[in-house]
Amino acid sequence: MDNVKFNKINTMLEKKRLIVDTILPNGNIFQVYGRKVPLELGKDEILIFKRGMDQKETLFYQGLYTKEVKRVLDEMLTIGGITGIDRYGEPIYERGTTEQGFVYKNMWAYLNHSDEVCYIPELSDDPYCYRDFMNICGYEKVADEVFSTVDWQSPEAYFNELQEDEDYYNQLIKDSRKEITVDERSR
């Protein structure tokens, strides 16, 4: 694979007509759309793989995970944004539109398991980070499902809605317990 200049990819991202797979430096694959791309990278490398909707054009960036790459990924994976800093030094979050609401949602902060705010619901100013989703849901797979599909309401309310669909919720829990068992055996 030949490297493509980052600014060309940045330009293509702005068109928002691409299928994007992002492989994180820790080896996890995060998909926005598309199929997983099997590839091994060094611990400080990242791959952003894009295919045009017509599948004719393929672009990618492979290289060091830099501040510029992080900035573009943050912009690409965020609904809403940070518009400034208030007088107390706290970020001012701006909500963006989803299919059913108006929220702030930063997928990159969630995927990095950071303490950064990753979600603010429509009807509340309460910020949520990855740890909050884990505390609400108990299992990582369930937390991932809640974060990826919550659209306007609080994570607690949405988690309660998921629990009402007993078959679906029980399958999520069953799958989560299998993952824990496999992880424990590998230790």
Q: Where are the domains of the chain?
A: 6-75, 78-177
Residue 185 CA neighbour count, 13 Å, CB half: 6
- Residue pair 24/46 in contact by the 8 Å Cβ criterion: yes
At 137 the pLDDT is: 92
* pLDDT tens sequence across 93-150: 999 998 889 999 988 788 878 789 999 999 999 999 999 999 999 888 899 889 988 9
At 173 the pLDDT is: 81
At 29 the pLDDT is: 44
**Dihedral over Cα of 82, 118, 72, 42: its sign:** positive
At 46 the pLDDT is: 59
Higher pLDDT pick, 47 / 4: 47
Sequence-distant (6+) residues with CB within 8 A of 102 are: 95, 96, 122, 152
Provide the residue type at 11 as one letter: T
* pLDDT tens sequence across 78-89: 899 889 999 999
48, pLDDT greater than 70: no
At 114 the pLDDT is: 79
175, pLDDT greater than 70: yes
